[in-house]
Each structure stands twice: as C-alpha cells, then as structure tokens.
C-alpha cells in the first residue's frame, strides 16, 4: 500500500483542503497511527501530515469564529439603531399591551 498516496502527499496541498476533507484525512491518519502497523518513517510522515491537517482545521474554525463574531457584532450594532427596529420597537409593543388591560 502506498502510504504517501493514501495521505495525499506532503503538506503543500493541505492549504487546498476544505475543513471536512482535512478532518477526515486527519481521522484516517490517527487511526493508522493508532493501529501501529507502520514503519517508523511512515509514522513520522503521518504525524507531520497530521500536524499540518490539524492546523488547517484550526484555520477553518478560526475563520468561521471570526465570521460569526462579525455577524453578531453587526446585529448588536443594529439593535442600538432605532431605524433598524431594535429594542425600542419591542418596548412599544409591550407598552401597548399594558395599556389595553
């Protein structure tokens, strides 16, 4: 079995992987290492590949976290803008309900 082909080559191509691809390949590398059926050289290559894959996954997660924070910040900015229909609108509905009692 060609281990280099199985792990997709060296770390240069890791930057091209989606999160799901990197995560799946990392899981395969971990299972292979845990099985212990590789030579020391193959194990070292898998370990290095796994480190690069884990870093790629972290890049994707960090990017997603930043995007979510930007959306959350934009929504919070909109809540303080009366033209955006923020909390003032909810307060007006509550007051109308109270006066109907």
Q: What is the pTM of this model?
A: 0.64
CA gap 75, 93 in Å, rounded: 21
96 pLDDT exceeds 90?
Answer: no
**What does DSSP assign to residue 9?**
S
φ, ψ of residue 84 in degrees (nearest 5):
-90, 0
At residue 95 the predicted structure's pLDDT band, cuts being 50, 70 and 90, is very low
6 pLDDT exceeds 50?
Answer: no
Higher pLDDT, 91 or 45: 45
Report whether 46 contacts 3 (CB < 8 A).
Answer: yes
Q: What is the mean pLDDT of the chain?
A: 79
Closest of 22, 24, 29, 27 to residue 7, by C-alpha: 29
């Amino acid at each position: 079995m060609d281990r280099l082909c199985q792990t997709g080559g060296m770390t240069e191509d890791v930057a091209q992987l989606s999160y799901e691809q990197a995560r799946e390949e990392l899981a395969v590398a971990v299972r292979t290492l845990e099985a212990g059926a590789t030579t020391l050289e193959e194990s070292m290559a898998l370990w290095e590949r796994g480190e690069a894959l884990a870093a790629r996954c972290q890049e994707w997660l960090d990017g997603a976290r930043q995007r979510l924070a930007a959306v959350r910040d934009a929504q919070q900015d909109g809540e303080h803008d009366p033209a955006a229909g923020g909390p003032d609108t909810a307060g007006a509905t509550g007051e109308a309900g109270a006066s109907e009692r």
